[in-house]
Amino acid sequence: MATKRDYYEVLGCTKSADAKELKSAYRKLAMKYHPDRNPDDAEAEAKFKELNEAYSILSDDDKRAAYDRMGHSAFGQGGAGGAGGFQDFGDIFSQIFGQGGGGFADMFGGGGRGQQRSVRGADLRYEMEIELEEAYVGKDLQIKVPISEDCHDCDGSGAAPGAEVETCSQCGGAGKVRTQQGFFTMERPCPRCGGQGEYVSDPCRTCDGTSQVRVETELDVNIPAGVEDGTRIRLTGQGDAAPKAAGPRGQRGDLYIFVSIRPHDLFERDGANLFCRAPVPMTCAALGGEIELPTIDGGRTKVKIPQGSQTGRRMRLRGKGMSVLRSAQRGDMYVELMVETPSQLNAKQRELLEEFRKAGGDEDCSPQSSGFLNKAKRFWEELTD
Q: Which fold has domain 7-87?
A: Helix Hairpins (1.10.287)
Low-confidence ranges of the chain (pLDDT < 50): 1, 77-91, 93-116
Angle made by CA atoms 3, 5, 6, in degrees to the nearest 5: 130
pLDDT in tens, 155-195: 887 888 877 777 777 788 777 888 766 556 677 777 766 66
Report the candidate in 30, 29, 13 with the shortest Cα–Cα distance to residue 21: 13
**338, 277 Cβ separation under 8 angstroms:** yes
CA distance 369 to 364: 6
Which residues belong to CATH 2.60.260.20 in the chain? 268-384
Q: What is the pLDDT of residue 67?
A: 85
Q: What is the pLDDT of residue 285?
A: 93
Q: Which residues have C-beta within 8 Å of that of residue 127, sequence separation ≥ 6? A: 258, 260
Which residues belong to CATH 1.10.287.110 in the chain? 7-87
Q: What is the pLDDT of residue 106?
A: 38
**140, 221 Cβ separation under 8 angstroms:** yes
CA distance 58 to 52: 10
Beta strands in 24-154 (DSSP E): 119-120, 124-130, 139-150
Q: What is the pLDDT of residue 97?
A: 47
Q: Which fold has domain 268-384?
A: HSP40/DNAj peptide-binding domain (2.60.260)
